[in-house]
Each structure stands twice: as structure tokens, then as C-alpha cells.
Amino acid sequence: MSNQTAKLPPSARLTKWLVCGPPLVFLLLLFVAPSAIMVVASLRFPGEFGGLAPVAAAPGVLQGLTLETYRFFFGDFLYAEIFVKSFLVALAATLICLVMAYPLALLIARSPKKSRDLMILLVILPFASNFLIRVYAWMILLGPQGALSQLVNSALGAFGIGPVHLLFSPFAVLVAMVYVHLPFMVLPLYTNLEKHDPSLLDAAQDLGANRWQRFWHVTFPLSLPGIYAGATLVFIPVLGMFAIPDILGGTGDMLIGNLIKDQFLGTRDWPFGATLSILLTGAVLLCVLVAARLGGAGMRHA
């Protein structure tokens, strides 16, 4: 690698820096630097009225760096539980998105070219209205006066089961999570499926594969890179999401996103908030790494 760089003529090297420079600066300034600040913040003491305590205060209590917040996190089962719960919610939302998006993406990819653009437009149309407004809309849809609640409760009432609250429940959170992130699953899947060579399906059929075998042995394995991409695009935002649980989850339903937000805005314990953020970032990076590995393995020969 370094050998290759050394052999490049100076003009090519300059071009390379010009092309790579802006994104590099962007990442350094907006990802690496803030992450470093967060790492340092997580090791400091909380300030008296929020914020951080000065690193070099008067001699005595609360100064220098400490691993106290990490000890606190790993010392209490509660936080691990919220982490696990958040991961499970993210996993569930990702799987539901996948199951819902796959047939849709397949349908769009196999439609005549003319109608595909319109269908894709319809998939991304919800982005035209504000994210928070769409989430608030679910309050109305799922609210006790909403048609859906009425229908569900009258049906349950027939079996003598008491009325349930759809709103302010893990159910409402999951519904909105899936709703908001569905396009992020549809688009990469469609992009992948649309590129499949239709002659492969003809060949599979010619070689004796029935409809199900054609899907399972040809379409599905070839779509794995799309699945990994979509899963990453859904899983990560859902994991950090705090607005949806805040609005639709009610008081009891806390995910990591809410916990972190509370540390900064509620409890005003910045070092602990920073610790949670760093741990979350680490966990997400791990997930991306795994997804990239899996996706890379699938993409190598496709």
C-alpha cells in the first residue's frame, strides 16, 4: 500500500488528497473529535450544577480523571437491562422491517420499468413531512378514541378481555419504529434486487427448481448484501432513537436513547451520559463491523 503511494506521480497524489481531503476533515471534525471529547468527558467528574467539574480544581474532592461512571454502569444491573432491551427492540424492528420490506422491494424490482419510479416515489413520500409530525400522528391513530383502538377493544370485549391501551406502550413504540424506518429497508433491498440478472431465475427453473427453491437458492442469497445494508440502516437509528419512546412509549418505557438524553438534560450527569454514549457507539460499531463482514462475504462473488 505504502509502496503504491510512493510510486504515484506528485499530481496524482495531490488529486488523491483533494478527493479524500474533505470527507476526511469532515469525519475528523464531526466524528473523531466529538468522540474523543466524549471519551474524556466520561472520565471526568460531574459539575456541581451540571456540566463537568474543572479538571484542575482546588485540591481536595472531585478532580482529575476517574473510571467511576464505568464502575457505576457495570455495577448496576438496571443499565445493562436497558441496553439489552434496546437491542431487542432494535432487533425486532429490524426483523419486522425486513419481513415487510422484502416482498415490497421484490414487487417493485419485478414491476415494469415505467411503474418502478412511481412506486419508489411512494415509498419515500413520507419523508416529505416532518418526522415528529408523523410520530405525533400515531398518537391520534393509536389513541383510545382512534378507530384502531375502538376496533381492537370491541373485538377483545367480545371475548370478555378488558380494554387495552395501544398508545403509551411498547407496542406503540415498535409500530412507530417500524413505520419510520421501513423505507430504509426497502430502498437498499430494491437497489439490490433490481440488479439481479433475470436469466439466473430462468436457469434455476430450467434446472428443475420450483418457485420456492428459486427464491431460496437464488434470489435470497444474492440479496444478502441488500439485507445487511438495510438491516444496518434500520438497526442503528432505532437503537439510538429517543423521540419515539418519549412520545409514544409512556413513562415506563425507557430505552438507551432516553436514558442518555436524561443524563444530559434531566439528571445533568454529563460524565455518565458520555459513558453511555461511548458504550452505545462502541456497541454500534461492533454491529456495523459484523454486518460489513457478513455483507462483504456475500458480495465478493455477486
Partner 1 sequence: MALLEIRNVTRRFGGFVAVDNISLGIEAGEIFTLLGPSGCGKTTILRMIAGFDLPDEGQILLDGEDLADTPPEKRPVRTVFQNYALFPHMTVAQNIAFPLRMSRCPDAEIRQRTRDTLQQVRLGDRAGRYPNELSGGQQQRVALGRALINRPRLLLLDEPLAALDAKLREEMQIELINLQREVGITFVFVTHAQNEALALSHRIAVLNSGRVMQVDDPPRLYGFPGNRFVAGFIGHINILDAQVLETAHGHTRLGIAGLGEIIVPPVAGAAPGGKGAFAIRPELVRIGVHGDVTELKNHFPCEVRNLLYCGDVTTYRVQLANGALIEALLPNSAPGRAELFKVGDAVNVGWRHDAGVFLHE
Using the minimum distance from each CB to partner 1, give the nearer residue, 54 or 296.
296
Give phi and psi for 50, each to the nearest 5: 85, 180
296 binds partner 1 (CB under 8 A): no
Q: Identify the sign of the CA torsion 15, 19, 21, 24.
A: negative
Nearer to partner 1, 102 or 138 (CB): 102
Instruction: Name the minimum Å distance from CB 201 to partner 1.
Output: 9
Q: Which residues have a Cβ under 8 Å from the Cβ of 289 and sit 6 or more positions away?
A: none
202 binds partner 1 (CB under 8 A): yes
Determine if 207 is a binding residue for partner 1 (CB under 8 A). yes
Residues in Cβ contact with 209 at an 8 Å cutoff, skipping those fewer than 6 apart? 217, 218
Task: Pick out residues in 86-105 that bind partner 1 (CB under 8 A).
Answer: none
> Cβ neighbours of residue 66 under 8 Å, at least 6 residues apart?
43, 44, 45
Cβ 215 to partner 1 shortest distance, Å: 13
Q: What ranges in 59-130 are assigned the alpha helix state H? A: 68-75, 77-109, 113-124
Which 3 state secondary structure label does DSSP give 2?
helix
* Contact flag: residue 293 with partner 1 (CB under 8 A): no
Our finding on whether 218 is near partner 1 (CB under 8 A) is yes
Residue placing its CB nearer to partner 1 in the complex, 26 or 220 = 220
Nearest to 243 by CA among 229, 228, 226, 260: 260
Q: Which stretch binds partner 1 (CB under 8 A): 48-56, 239-247, 275-283, 294-302?
A: 294-302
Please give the size of the binding site for partner 1, defined by CB under 8 A.
21
Of 277, 282, 278, give the one whose Cα is nearest residue 263: 277
Residue 45 has a CB neighbour count (10 Å cut-off) of: 21
Task: State which residue, 117 or 197, has the beta carbon closest to partner 1.
Answer: 197
Using CB under 8 A as the binding rule, whether residue 209 contacts partner 1 is answered as: yes
The minimum distance between CB 298 and partner 1, in angstroms, equals 7
Q: Which of 37, 99, 200, 265 binds partner 1 (CB under 8 A)?
A: 200
Q: Give the binding range for partner 1 (CB under 8 A) out of 108-116, 159-167, 172-180, 206-214.
A: 206-214
Q: Which of 64, 61, 30, 77 is nearest to 271 (CA)?
A: 64
Which of 61, 208, 251, 252 is in the footprint of partner 1 by CB under 8 A?
A: 208
Q: Residue 281, interface with partner 1 (CB under 8 A)?
A: no
3-state SS, one letter per residue, for 181-219:
HHHHHHHHHHHHHHCCCHHHHHHHHHCCCCHHHHHHHHH
Closer to partner 1 by CB, 106 or 239: give it: 106
CB of 297 to partner 1, least distance (A): 10
Which own/partner contact pairs does 20-24 have at CB distance under 8 Å and 24+ positions apart?
A: none
Per the document, the length of the chain is: 302
Of the candidate spans 88-96, 154-162, 198-206, 243-251, the one that interacts with partner 1 by CB under 8 A turns out to be 198-206
| Least spacing, CB of residue 226 vs partner 1, in Å | 13
Is residue 195 close enough to count as binding partner 1 by CB under 8 A? no
Binding region for partner 1 (CB under 8 A):
197, 199-200, 202-210, 213, 217-218, 221-222, 298, 300-302
